[in-house]
Structure 1
Amino acid sequence: MIHEVDEVIEGLLSGGVLAGTGIEIAFDAPTRTWASRRNSPTLNAYLYDIREDTARREGGTVPVRDERGAVVRRRRPPRWFRLSYLVTAWTKRPQDEHRLLSAALASLLPHELLAPAQLPGALGALGLSVPLVVGATPGDARSRAELFSALGGELKPSVDLMLTVPFPGFPEYDAGPPVTEGAVVSARELDGPLADAPRAHQERHLKDVARPASVADTAEAPGER
């Protein structure tokens, strides 16, 4: 699922104002060794943090339908995860890097909510929209200086990009076949071959059986003692 999010980000960064420019989009860790091998303008989107958005967690199950709309399986609701990317620009001059970052912002800002049709593969098949936040750093994220220090490089201007993405819930359970017929009520014979009796007789017999016994019914006839 994460690789599909990478595809989305690559499409957004290489489109918009950067369409047709041939700017390279990379997802490598921007270490000092990686930076030394850059020989063309590059936008780097480094995935530095993955954590669940527990406020979105749900219980129960959700139906999985086929092309006819019939429920064929049931699965647990998706779990939502925040994927945080550090977007940096790499050129030979700081001014060019700033231009690249401006272009990246112009390409990302119009997309605050990605519809399922904009999402590839299994991510789009979930039928859920994905929110995208540009430039907002989570309060519990490590500082940019600490991050670049851990990568062994120097601090650079960067843009934080965060997508909250659904991941399918497992396991899935097979659903029973849909009900296509109404309820059928059958009655067994009570006193003799009821099925062979005329219909009117059957109805009277069933009414007599269903009628509660009265005091007169249970009283003894004269002379029976």
Structure 2
Amino acid sequence: MIHEVDAALRRLLSESGMEASGVEVVLDAPTREWAAGRGAPTLSLFLYDIREDPTRRASGGHELYDEDGHVVARRAPARWFELTYLVTAWASRPQDEHRLLSQALACLTAHDMLPPALLTGTLAELGLTVGLDGGGSGLDAPAASDVWSALGGELKASLGVRVRAPLAGTVAAAGPPVTEGLLVRAGDLSSGGDPSAGRRLRYAEVPDPAPDEGFAGQRERRPRPARRRRGDRQP
């Protein structure tokens, strides 16, 4: 799921006009060594925080069917995670970096979710909305200054981007559909007798029983008790 979000974000920003203008969109961590070796204008999407959203955890699941309508597997419910990115622009001049950040900000804030056309893999298969917060409001992730200190670089302008994406639940294969009925055998085992050959309670290609019939055939109807007349005393 994480690599699918990476690909969707990179494609979203690249198709906003950055790729046509020669800007490279990467996922590298903006460390001091990396910054010293960069060449062309670059936009870095650094994923630095992943945490589950417990408020969206669900129970249950759903079934998966084959072409004939039979249940072939059962999938556990998806679990939602928040992925937080540090977006930075790198160019030869600060004004060029700010221009790149402005372009990235305009692109990200124009979408409340990742466009479905950009989703691949399990994200596309689930068909769920992948939320996108390009303004960085309400982030619970570590502060940008702490991230820069951990990277060993100098603090510079950056954007906080958060994506809420589902992680597909595990799939458990289901057994084949039942095509034969229950087989019942009766016999006196205490005296060493062998059980009978057995009688199947449900036969293949047999319609449902009538109200007076069971799965093994017509049932014996007991006579109704006689009605008592008024005045008769019960013995």
Offset of residue 172 of structure 1: 2.1
Offset of residue 75 of structure 1: 1.6
TM-score normalised according to structure 2 size: 0.75
The amino acid of 2:31's aligned partner reads: T
| SS of equivalent to 1:114 | coil
**Pair 214,70 (structure 1): closer, same or farther in 2 beyond 3 Å:** same
Distance 1:165 1:24 in 2: 25
The amino acid of 2:131's aligned partner reads: P
- Name stretches of at least 5 consecutive residues in structure 1 with no aligned partner: 191-205, 217-225
Distance 1:107 1:83 in 2: 18
Name the Cα RMSD after superposition. Answer: 2.6
Equivalent residue, structure 2, for 1:73? 73
Matched, 1:183 2:208: yes
Aligned length: 199
**Pair 47,110 (structure 1): closer, same or farther in 2 beyond 3 Å:** same
**Pair 106,78 (structure 1): closer, same or farther in 2 beyond 3 Å:** same
| SS of equivalent to 1:55 | helix
Given candidates 198, 223, 231, the residue that maps to 1:211 is 223
Distance 2:178 2:18 in 1: 51
CA contact (8 A) 1:28 1:44 kept: yes
Distance 1:2 1:138 in 2: 21
| SS of equivalent to 2:105 | helix
CA contact (8 A) 1:14 1:25 kept: yes
Distance 1:157 1:70 in 2: 55
Equivalent residue, structure 1, for 2:198? none
Offset of residue 114 of structure 1: 2.8
Distance 1:43 1:178 in 2: 57
CA contact (8 A) 1:115 1:128 kept: no
Offset of residue 111 of structure 1: 1.6
The amino acid of 2:226's aligned partner reads: S
The amino acid of 2:225's aligned partner reads: A
More displaced stretch, 28-37 vs 13-22:
13-22
CA contact (8 A) 2:130 2:164 kept: yes
**Pair 80,121 (structure 1): closer, same or farther in 2 beyond 3 Å:** same
Distance 1:129 1:189 in 2: 55
**Per-residue deviation, residues 149-206 of structure 1 (Å, max 9, x unmatched):** 110000111111111010011252416539997634445577xxxxxxxxxxxxxxx6
CA contact (8 A) 2:8 2:114 kept: no
The amino acid of 2:125's aligned partner reads: A
Higher helix share: 1
CA contact (8 A) 1:81 1:166 kept: yes
Distance 1:136 1:162 in 2: 7
The amino acid of 1:29's aligned partner reads: A
- Name stretches of at least 5 consecutive residues in structure 2 with no aligned partner: 180-203, 229-235
The amino acid of 1:151's aligned partner reads: L
Equivalent residue, structure 2, for 1:142? 142
Offset of residue 110 of structure 1: 1.9
Q: Percent identity?
A: 47
